[in-house]
Amino acid sequence: MADASLTTFDAVLKTCYGPDFIAEQLNNKNNILERFDKNAEDYEYDGKNFTFPAHHGRNEGIGSRASGGALPTASSQSYKEVVIPRKESFGVIKINRDVIKASNKNSGAFAKVLSTEMKGLVTDLKNDGNRRLFNDGLGTLATCSGAGTSSTAINVDSTRRLRVGQAIDICVASSGAESHGKLNTTVSSITSATRFVTADAVSAYASLDTTFAVYPYGGHAADNSLGYEPYGLDAIVATTDTITSGYGGLAVASYAWWISTLTNHNGALTTLAMQKIVDDTEAAGNGSPSCIVTTSGCLRAYMEYMEGSRLFTNSMTLDGGIKTSSFTANGKTLPIIADKYCWEGDMWFLDESEMVHLVLTDWEWVDDDGGIFKWVSGYDQITAYMAKYDNVACYARNAHGKLYNVTEA
């Protein structure tokens, strides 16, 4: 056969592994993000930010008066502009030249390697997307909890979002600077729920207090994920600002209505506690939770409580045929969806109608210069990457609630 060229590989990538393939594979995984509305075209977009009005005040021109008395003072609904910035995410693959040479003699060689790379990329995009959904928009994987045990044994609040082989930066949480941390290292092992081991020594490990955190690898402060990731539930369903200017540009110190209902349960789960967080959330605004997102441990705790109380655990079927347990409150049946990236002891009570996944550009191969594959300068390799421009917006933060510090089963 004729020598394979990058043009040939581009065609294979576009035809077999284009945006439709990625979207279908991700959607079939029942990504929680897919449950949110995706009508980005309904919002004003200025090339950098999405904007929409948040309703926070009612018409106060209502009242009863004596016969012939003065009418109530005219009023109107109150709104405040919310600004949600566009976030840019990327997925990159790289293939060695020996694979390309092999494809000159065997047309299936390249397709096989490409299939492996694509399946791996899809899995990683799905996992990372779900991780981000529960995050604070800063990219935080873990927060250091005090001096390390040794130069490679790092103590953190939780290792739940870390994995062996993961490339990370340990740096100052407020700036991304290396300081006493370590940029471009790898998680070599996870020894407990609050400790992991790095592949490279952190010489100043005794100084790793809570002002340091772990982020996806970037190499230096300008390139790690600190502040560049789409907003997640930790940034949206909150009573404090994880984002410097406040979520949507509205700081809770100035806009007390721009908060969610959070309850520190600190104990064994009960249906009474679940009912109360639903009631409190509905009382705080016009929203009403439509689903519960939590950990497998909290889901087991719910099932254990129901079994101990000799009550029947209801179930329902989600899109894709996936069955899950459910909880009934105030005439509504809320599916309980477990996700491994949810923080331990957290139960999110979300009104999905108040959430929107703003997708400007879904996952697609970048071929602005006419080709998808490019030679890697200085290396015997080719590379290609996908890009997605999006973020997560919320119309009303007071439509959501969270029960936290629930004892897991």
Question: Is 318 inside any structural domain?
Answer: yes
Q: Examine the domain organization and report whether 403 and 284 are in the same domain.
A: yes
Could you tell me if 201 and 321 lie in one domain? no
Pair (401, 325) in one structural domain: yes
CA distance 271 to 305: 8
Is the domain of 291 the same as that of 400? yes
Residue 227 within any structural domain of the chain: no
Residue 43 located in a structural domain: no
pTM of the model: 0.81
The better pLDDT of the pair 272, 311 is held by 272
Distance CA 375, CA 383 (A): 6
pLDDT (average), residues 36-55 = 72
Number of domains in the chain: 2
Shared domain for 168 and 282, answered yes or no, is no
Q: How many CB atoms within 10 Å of residue 387? A: 16
Q: pLDDT, tens digit, for every residue of 115-167?
A: 777 777 877 887 788 888 888 888 889 999 888 788 889 999 989 889 899 99
Mean pLDDT calculated for residue range 365-383 = 84
pLDDT one-digit tens code per residue, 280-320: 999 988 889 999 999 999 999 999 998 877 666 676 666 65
In a domain, 181, yes or no: yes
Whether 194 and 309 map to the same domain: the answer is no
Question: Sign (positive/negative) of CA torsion 277, 278, 279, 281?
Answer: positive
pLDDT in tens, 70-89: 988 888 777 888 888 989 98
DSSP string, 184-235: EEEEEEEEETTEEEESS--TTGGG--TTEEEEE--SSTTTS-TTTSPP-HHH
| CATH code where residue 402 lies | 3.30.2320
In whole angstroms, what is the distance from residue 59 CA to residue 61 CA? 6
336, part of any domain = yes
- Residue 268 sits in the same domain as residue 401: yes
Domain that holds residue 274: 258-357+394-407
